[in-house]
Structures are given as C-alpha cells and as structure tokens.
Amino acid sequence: MLGCVSRLRRLVRLVRHLPLQTSLLLLFLFCTVSVFVSAYFLYGAKQELEHSGGGVAGGEVASAVYDDLRVSPSRLLPLRAVSGGPGGEGGVRTDPVVLVFVESQYSQLGQDIVAILESGRFRYRTEISPGKGDMPTLTDKEHGRFTLVIYENILKYVNLDAWNRELLDKYCVEYGVGIIGFFKANENSLLSAQLKGFPLFLHSNLGLKDCTVNSKSPLLFITRSGQPLPGPLPGDDWTVFQSNHSTYEPVLLAKTQSAESVPSLGTMVALLPSVVQDLGLHDGIQRVLFGNNLNFWLHKLVFVDAVGFLTGKRLSLSLERHLLVDIDDIFVGKEGTRMKVDDVKALLETQRELRNHVPNFTFNLGYSGKFFHAGKTDGSLWYETHTSTHTSMYTLHRFLWDCINKSKQYTYCFYNLRTYTALFIKQTFFSPFRLFILPLLLSCSVPVLPLHTSHPLTFSPLIHLPSCPGSDEEDLGDDLLLSYVKEFWWFPHMWSHMQPHLFHNQSVLAEQMLLNKRFAMEHGIPTNMGYAVAPHHSGVYPVHLQLYDAWKKVWGIRVTSTEEYPHLKPARFRRGFIHSGVSVLPRQTCGLFTHTIFYKEYPGSPNELDKLINGGELFLTVLLNPISIFMTHLSNYGNDRLGLYTFKSLVAFLQTWTNLRLQTLPPIQLAQRYFSLFPNERDPLWQDPCEDKRHKDIWSKEKTCDRFPKLLVIGPQKTGSTALYLFLGMHPDLTSNYPNKETFEEIQFFNGHNYHRGIDWYMEYFPLPSNTSSDYYFEKSANYFDSEVAAERAAALLPKSKIITILINPADRAYSWYQHQRAHDDPVALKYSFHDVIVATHDAPVRLRVLQNRCLVPGWYAIHLERWLNHYHSSQVLVLDGQQLKTEPASVMDRIQKFLGLVNTVNYHRILAFDPNKGFWCQLLEGGKTKCLGKSKGRRYPDMDPEVRVVICQCKLFTDICSL
Ligand SMILES: [Zn+2]
C-alpha cells in the first residue's frame, strides 16, 4: 500500500483543481475498499466463467472461410489469363481454353468444375448446355478456340442433335480435343442402360465402398495409386461403367456396398469402374467419364489429372509444391494457450519428422518482442483495443469487461490497461468507475503517468513495467524456444503487435520496429531473413507506404504475405504483387485460427478438421497452388498442438495419394520462385479501398476515397480534350487535379509508370475534400483512351466514376497529331510529309513507324472504346463529338452537366465567348475580355491534302467504311 500512496500523490499533483485533502481521502478510501470488493467480485466472476467452459467463438469465421470453393458464383465468360503451367508447345492448333457446358449458371457441379479450373489458373469459358443444338463457334480461321470440352451432364452431349454432335465430334477429332463428362444419376435414372451410341453400359444408383486407383491408367500424373481407400464412398447414387470394348480403361474402381445391387453384373465382378477413360479407340475421341459429381475428393484429384492428360499437359501443374508455415505471434497469447516446455520440444521434434518428407522444412516464427515472458494478452482483445478509440470511459469500461469475460482473469486485463492509464486519468477523473478501478491498477504496479499526447497508441511504447505475475511454465516455454533459436526461421511482427496503418508517421513505425529489432539482437534471433508480416494484414494491402519504407529502412524487408490481395474471398483468387521493392505473396488459410486449440472443440466437429486435411480445402490448396504460405498462431501449438497434427497429417495424406514433391524455401527465394512462375502478377492492380470493408478497416483513417476523381476525361489526344478540361474547370462543382510538371499538367496515372507509385501518389494530386458534398474531382489524361491497361486499372480503382471521350474524324486527328509534332520540332515529323508517315511500311525506319503509330493507333476508336466498355457500363461512358464541342461548346456542356448529375447547373452560353482572333471558344471574363488556351492549342496549319485523305480511305487505315 505504500506504493499505492506514493502513486496517489503523484496523481494528485496532476489534478490541482480538486482540493488536495478531499481527493486524497476519497481515493485512499476507495483504494482500500475497492481492492477487496472487486477482487472478491472478479474472482467469483472468473470461477463462473470457467465453469461455463466459455470457448471463445471462432466458428463463424472458420466455417465461412472453408466455403470458398463452394459458394463462389458461377462465372460466365471471363477468360482468366494462364499464368503458370507448362503449355505453349509449338504447333499447337488450339487456344489453351476449356469449354465448359454447365447445366445452369448456378448448378453446383458446374461451379465445382469452374472453381478447380480457376484455382489452377486455367482459362475457360462456360456455356449453358443447350437442350439440343447451338454450339458456340469452335474454330477461328484454321485455329481451334478450345483445347478441352467439359460436360457437367454427359447426357447433354450424348443427346445432341445429329448436326451439332457431328460438328463437335469432328472438331475434337481434327484438333485432338478430348471430352470430360459427368454422369449424375437421379431417381429417374434407369438402373441399367446403354450410353446412347457407345459400347458402354451404365449401372446407376449404387452405393460403393473401398475405392482404388488403377495403377495402369495412363492419365495418372499427380494421383498416386496404392492401397485402397477403405470405407463407403459419399452418397448412394453412384454410377459404374461396364464395357467389353478395349477403348475403356478404368481409372477408379470400387466395390458395391451390397452384392445384389447389380444383378446383371453377377457377383463375379469384385471391382467396378466408377471413373473410366476412353482411349479413343472407338471413334477417335478421348474421353474421361465420371460416375458421380466432384463431391468425392478423389474425383477432384483425378479430374485435375484428366485435364492435364487430355490437354497434353498444356493445362497442368508441375509436381513441385512449396510449403511455408508461419507461426504468428509466437509470444502473444492469453495465458493457458501459450507453449510450455513440452510443446516447444514437440514443435522441434515435429519439424525434424517433417524434414523426412519435406527437405529442410522449417517453421517460420513471427514475434512481437514486447510480449516475451509477459504476453498474457489475448490477441483479439489486443486488436480490438488498438482499433477503437480510447477516449471515453465507456470504451475503457467495455474493454475491461470484455477482457475479463474472455480471459477469465483480471490481472492481465489490468496489465493491458496500463497502456491507457494516462488517458484514463485525464478523461474520467471524476467518475466513480475510475475511483473503483484506479486502486486496482495501482495495486498491480501500474504506474500512473500524465498524459502527454491525445493519441494513446504513440504512448504505449513509452511505458515499461514490471509484469504482473503470469504462468511460469509458459515463460519457460518462451525461454526454451529462444534456446533453439537457430533451429527455426524468424520474422518480425512489430514490437507491440500494433497495426501499422494507424501510424501516419514513418518514423514512429520505424521506432517500433527498432524496439523489436533490439529485442531480436538481445536474444540472438537472426534479423536477416528479409521477411515480415504486419499484424492483421494492416498496411500491406491496401498499401501503407510508410510501412513499406520503415520495413525497408529498419529490417531490409523484401518479402511479406497477405490474404487481402485482391480480396480475402474467394481464396482461390488471392494473388501476389511487387510494390516499392517488396514482394507481397498470397497467404493461404489452413483452417486453424487463434481460438482453435482443442481437437474436440474444433468448429463443427473434429471431423471437420480431418476433412479439410484428407481431401478437403487444405489438401486442395496444396494440390492447386505451386506455392502455399500458411498462417498459424502460437495458440495452435500449445494444448492439443493442432498445428503439428494438421501439418503432419497433411503431409502424410499428400504422400499417400499424390506424387507431389513437397519442398520449402526461405521467404526471399520463395518470392523469387513465385514471380518466376507467375511473372504477370508482378504488377499490382490497385482497387478502391472503400469497396471492401476489410480493406477500409485497415486503410489509414487519414485517407479517404472522396479524394479520388469521379470523372476521367480520357482523350484521345488532339480531339479537344484540353478545351473541355478548361470548360469543366469553370464549373463551381468541379475541381480538377493539381498539375503534374513532368507530364504537361496531366497526371497520366493509369497508363504508364506513375501507376507503380501507388494510389497515395495519385491522391496527392487532388485537394483534401472539404465537408461539402458537392466536391466533384476530375482529371484529364488524353492518352488513357488508347492505353492497353488504363481501362482495366481505372475500373479497378474508380469503379463508379464517369468516363468522357471526345472523338473527331480519325484522319483529322492523325493529321493534327502530325502537325503537333512538327510544331514541337520533332525531327521525324519535319523530315517526312504526312503522306510519307501514313503509308510507311514495316521496313521503314523505326522512328518513322513510331510516329506513324502515334498518328494512327489512337484513331482505331472501336478497339479502344470496346476496351473501356468491357470495364465500364455504357451508362458511365459519354462519347462526345469533338466537332460539336468546337462549334457549339455550350450545348455540349449542358449535356455533360446532365450526364454528371451536377447539383448546380451553369449556363455556359453566358460564360463562353467566341474569340475571332483565336478562332475558337474561350472563357468570358468580366469586362468582356476572354481567357483562352495557350498558344500551343488551336494552332493553325495548312489543311490536309485531299489526296492524302483519299489514301487514308483506300488503305482502310481506320475503318472498312469510307467517309471522306
Ligand atoms: Zn499477429
């Protein structure tokens, strides 16, 4: 109590407006009483909570994540780029695209098929199977558009009308294209029937058991044949295939659950094929037929092999799989979930065991040094407290209450509260709550400090305290872990597990990192792995450049990982990117969360975890991703050691059923491998951080999506976009970007290298939004129009923005560009006539052809417009007639105001005036003067030679249709 009193004195000095004696007396009284009362009360509460066995809920999160493969919408038409895979042998006469006939947009099997193709990064196109006819166009000139055909329902193929069937079969024979089909029996299916037109009999609605892989099947690649899989197959609606024709080779075989179920087969047949391969000996077409859907995990594996086999390995993954297992928050965990000595020994032992199957396998441990020996902090609480604002008594009250509820022990809750003590004192001095809590804080050696800053977070690292007594056993675990420091890989995870996006100041972040680095060096933890992970993915994506900079400065970080790019779900679309010298790799979920610590309490049932491993989501992740980085947490390695169980079981399962070669690499080499496999993922595609709630939550609060433009004027050049830019700027509701000195005022973000500077850079070109809602930012960059990449990038970042393009006769545009180059003393334009430029052939000098390109290519309006319309709805795009803009700008501006839906309408007839000297419309100033564009605009030059116009037309430089 002596300490208590001295601290009270210090406290009292802080608050001079209360009479000293009163406050002393009051506090002392409460100090004494509250300690006993609350200790009694809280101890009682703790006991109660323990009895109720209150496991912390994590179930919703877990089950939601596993659903990825199933809940995704069926995707019609998007062709996803092939990024990995071998493929591309010379002389291949088909595009590496799969044609998938689905039953409907929402049919389950169709979605399962598509999900696997997407996970493998294979391109595909879905079509709703027609009842009878109507094939999509299969060839393009002499080229096949598809390399494989998949039927969700093989009967749709069998029952095609003769014309279309012949068309498809002929295509398959001619281009060597195979067919995969599924036969899903229903209650109307005949028990036994011949497949129409094939020497093949089907026996349906069977229950099967004891499946084996036929080791002689030629399509096996990843699938390993070996011992049978004992037990029943899921469902009792199986179909088996029977044939005497040598074209059919079984792939999977199984027994019927009861001998009498197929009387026609007799009891002699022990094993029946449930998946058969048609070797093409019957009609020249290779097929693989499945006697059920993809619900059975082995079907998924065989399906992947079937796709690879039938496409001659063009759509196939190699056998190499890289695994990296991160164990995050190695010191952060609430008491009772951390590793004890035996757990640490088991971790090392399992690592040794795993190395027999995965050479050099090493657990990658992430640490926040602040929690070493004293990390009695529940991770989720920590996040919660860091993300909310601690400016009210209510927050503190709730924090404490939640903490006690969840952790069942109050000492560490107060321990946590230490950080906020200063704020606490200032804000809630007079509250009874404070008077109740404060003595407890004091009795737990919590120092009471004056408030230096209104920001509680920057305050936290300043406080170093003797820790409240915790579990010695767990502290010994920490010690043992550090004595094995050389056995593991390590990565920094911030000193106090705070979220980087909350810090706008790079040096504060760097300070935090330095604390962690100092900790690492004191404990011999290697600091040169070049890999780091941000708490809660914060700052990695959406990019918080301050984090990247501090990482590089303090640690030399070159690799990180996240689940958030482009989005958490669906998991199969997670990708990597490189920004500012840091490789960001996609991270996978393994089904273990901070709160899954007991096998028996696994969300759903323990069976659910085993399902994930034995052919479920986790197995599929490794099957379909050449590189998998898994994130687990400390708590998965104490208690039931679910982390060890999961990865040992996973590796054993993979080795039993696949030929995959499992390996590992340290993060930097892993990143190199990743981007050599998927080079087209290097460039990021920035998205609107406000379109994804998770992204918005981990985006700096100092940034706002209101700072993005809502209108893009995309050009092309020489059609009047600068005049339009001037006119738009005259509207009180519209605000243009600040000029960019490098690029003649335009920002030129979406088309070129500026894009790699990131969205923060882009936002800097727009003012901080005021509070009025009429802020409407716009920018004009005239070469967005014909850029190959601008439309996709703009739509990703500004999905709701409006797009304006201005078109004039492309021949005039080309000529104007040519004259523009002459006026800028371009030597090529000065040397050659316009006629020379437009008729230059492929053997002309390169510089001439470059000029020709800049004259002609932007004028291929249809191609460029189509690209913009692929990414923006037509109601968002306004195409203006540049000629009309020149002659009657005011009426064009009326149209634009309507298109933009502006609050205020401006009468441009009153504020624009024709300047006869300039020859174009200008801004009318007070006193009748005009403000016009500079000399470089509206330049006069000789008219185009009419004969050249004829040449342009005859050579069909812009269009097949001529209008002179
Ligand atoms: Zn963490």
User: Is 484 one of the annotated binding-site residues?
Assistant: no
Amino acid identity for residue 342 in this structure: D
Q: Alpha-carbon distance 491 to 497, whole Å?
A: 13
**What is the crossing angle of helices 810-823 and 946-954, to 10°?**
120
Q: What is the 590 CA–ligand 1 centroid distance (Å)?
A: 16
DSSP H or E segment with residue 804:
strand 802-807
SS3 category, 844: coil
940 assigned binding-site residue? yes
394 labeled part of a ligand binding site:
no
Q: CB–CB of 557/668 below 8 Å?
A: no
Q: Could you count the other beta carbons within 10 Å of the beta carbon of residue 808?
A: 21
Q: What is the pLDDT of residue 266?
A: 55
pLDDT of residue 53: 33
- Across the chain, which has 964 residues, the per-10-residue mean pLDDT values are 48 46 47 43 37 34 33 28 34 89 95 97 94 83 95 94 94 96 86 90 92 95 93 93 94 85 59 95 96 96 98 96 95 81 96 97 95 54 34 49 57 52 42 52 44 34 34 82 95 91 92 94 94 94 96 97 96 97 96 89 94 96 98 92 97 97 98 97 96 94 92 95 93 91 85 94 91 81 96 98 96 94 93 93 92 94 96 98 95 96 92 86 86 72 87 77 57
Residue pair 783/692 in contact (Cβ under 8 Å)? The answer is no
Distance of CA 942 to the CA centre of its chain: 54
Dist. CA 330 → ligand 1 center (Å)? 9
| CA 61 / ligand 1 centre spacing (Å) | 16
- Cα of first residue to Cα of last residue in the chain, in angstroms, is 99
Give residue 511 CA to ligand 1 midpoint distance, Å.
Answer: 18
| Gap between the Cα atoms of 5 and 27, Å rounded | 9
Ligand 1 center to 327 CA (angstroms): 9
Tokens of 464: 């170093």
Closest residue by Cα to residue 183 from 163, 200, 168: 200
Cα→Cα distances 539→387, 388, 509, 546, 692, Å: 14, 17, 11, 8, 15
Catalytic residue among 718, 780, 802, 886: 718
List residues bridging with 930 in a β-sheet. Answer: 924
pLDDT of the residue at 334: 75
Say if residue 939 carries a ligand binding annotation: yes
Instruction: Tell me the two tokens of residue 338.
Output: 């951390």
Is there a contact between 491 and 497 (Cβ–Cβ < 8 Å)? no
Q: The tokens of 364 are what?
A: 């990658």
Strand 287-290 relative to strand 272-278: parallel, antiparallel, unpaired? antiparallel
Please give the helix or strand (H or E) that residue 583 lies within, else none. Answer: strand 582-586
For residue 697, count other CB atoms closer than 10 A to its CB: 15
576 is in an annotated binding site: no
Name the burial class of residue 405, with classes exposed (0-12), middle (13-18) and buried (19+) by CB atoms within 10 angstroms of its CB. Answer: middle
Side by side, the strands of the sheet bearing 930-931 are: 912-915, 920-924, 930-931
Q: What would the two tokens of residue 667 be?
A: 């993060």
938 assigned to a ligand binding site: yes
State the Cα–Cα distance between residues 729 and 747, nearest whole angstrom. Answer: 16
Q: CA-to-CA distance for 942 and 373, rounded, in angstroms? A: 83
- Rounded to the nearest angstrom, the distance between the alpha carbon of 332 and the centre of ligand 1 is 8
Q: Where are the beta strands (DSSP E) in 654-796?
A: 661-663, 711-715, 734-736, 776-780
Distance set, CA 265 to CA 271, 737, 916 (Å): 11, 78, 96
- Kindly compute the dihedral angle of the four CA atoms of residues 778, 783, 784, 789, in this order, to the nearest 10 degrees: -150
For residue 504, how far is its CA from the centre of ligand 1 (angstroms)? 20
Name which of 691, 674, 703 is nearest 561 in CA terms: 674
Peptide bond into 739 cis (omega under 30): no
**718 among known catalytic residues:** yes
Residue 522 phi/psi, 5-degree rounding, is -60, -30
DSSP-derived secondary structure for 526-542: ---S-B---GGGTTTTT
In 3D, which of 626, 589, 618 has the Cα closest to residue 83? 626
- Confirm or deny that 231 is annotated as ligand binding: no
- Cβ atoms of residues 460 and 296 within 8 Å: no
Rg (CA), the chain: 34
The amino acid sitting at 375 is: G
